[in-house]
A and B are shown apart, each in its own frame.
Chain A
Amino acid sequence: DGGITQSPKYLFRKEGQNVTLSCEQNLNHDAMYWYRQDPGQGLRLIYYSQIVNDFQKGDIAEGYSVSREKKESFPLTVTSAQKNPTAFYLCASSILGHDSNQPQHFGDGTRLSIL
């Protein structure tokens, strides 16, 4: 079955530690996204990528980094510079629509907590 796989489902970070969240898709989608979800705030865009080896900052990129070395993969690193990393992180992908905005397909998320 085609879809998006996020791992791990739960992740704990120690003070001063960088952690990496995995996102893999086998939908052959060009575009991939990372969102942060906090209670009562909906989804906020962290980073997105429309093509391999290229990515753009979203609204809340500070303290995060990404890479896009393969079309299928878009890992997110939460660095020690992110002072409030506790949240639910969602990865999404979509085809690129040249004349319309295409729906995004989501993974099941990773919940990150601070130890």
Chain B
Amino acid sequence: AQSVTQPDIHITVSEGASLELRCNYSYGATPYLFWYVQSPGQGLQLLLKYFSGDTLVQGIKGFEAEFKRSQSSFNLRKPSVHWSDAAEYFCAVGLYNNNDMRFGAGTRLTVKP
């Protein structure tokens, strides 16, 4: 069965520092990959998605993610973190059907002044 792992439960970075959030998936074929962000008490907002083609995907709010098939990873990156980026981030893996989407447990990002 497909699954997604976010190894880091909580990450703290200083404002202006670079950020990388890890995501590993388990699936026999190339999955559809997503990153979502959730602010406290809110729903999830799509940051970016990977379906096929260029393995480096650009998203909103200055985020990007790179699909690495050999490592079964889809890590999220941002060159310079802003205080407003503090939130919880979820990686998700999808199959052919919308109902077969699996979410990671999330990584909570804290941004230090």
Show the binding face of A for B, using Cβ within 8 Å: 4, 6, 31, 33, 35, 40-43, 45, 48, 50, 56, 58, 90, 92, 94, 96-97, 99-109, 111
**A40-B46 contact, Cβ under 8 Å, with A100-B51, A101-B96:** no
Complex contacts, A33 vs chain B, CB 8 Å: 98-99
**Interface residues of B, CB < 8 Å — how many?**
25
10 further A-B pairs in the complex, CB-CB below 8 A; given A58-B99, A101-B51, A101-B94: A31-B99, A41-B105, A43-B44, A101-B95, A101-B100, A101-B101, A103-B46, A108-B42, A109-B41, A109-B42
Between A and B, how many residue pairs show CB distances below 8 Å? 68
User: Does B9 belong to the interface (CB within 8 Å)?
Assistant: yes
Q: CA A25 – CA B11 in complex, angstroms?
A: 34
B98 and A31 contact, CB distance less than 8 A: yes
- Please provide the chain B residues from 69 to 113 with a CB less than 8 Å away from any CB of chain A in the complex: 90, 94-101, 103-106
Which residues, 46 to 83 on B, are CB-close (under 8 Å) to A?
46, 49, 51
Q: How far is the CB of B39 from chain A (nearest CB, A)?
A: 10
- Sorted nearest first, the 6 A-B pairs with minimum C-beta distance are A101-B94, A106-B43, A101-B32, A42-B105, A43-B103, A42-B103
Contact B34 A43 (CB under 8 A): no
A90 B43 Cβ-Cβ under 8 A = yes
| Interface assignment of B45: CB less than 8 Å from any CB of chain A | yes
Among candidates B34, B99, B106, residue contacting A56 with C-beta atoms closer than 8 Å: B99
- Contact partners of A107 in chain B: CB under 8 A: 43
Q: Are B43 and A109 in contact (CB under 8 A)?
A: yes
- The answer to whether B99 and A45 touch across the interface, beta carbons within 8 angstroms, is yes
**Closest chain B residue to A97, Cβ basis:** B98
| B9, B45, B51, B101 — most chain A CB neighbours (10 Å) | B101
The complex places the Cα of A80 from the Cα of B65 at a distance, in Å, of 43
Question: How many angstroms between the C-alpha atoms of A99 and B51 in the bound complex?
Answer: 10
CA distance A96 to B96 in the complex (A): 10
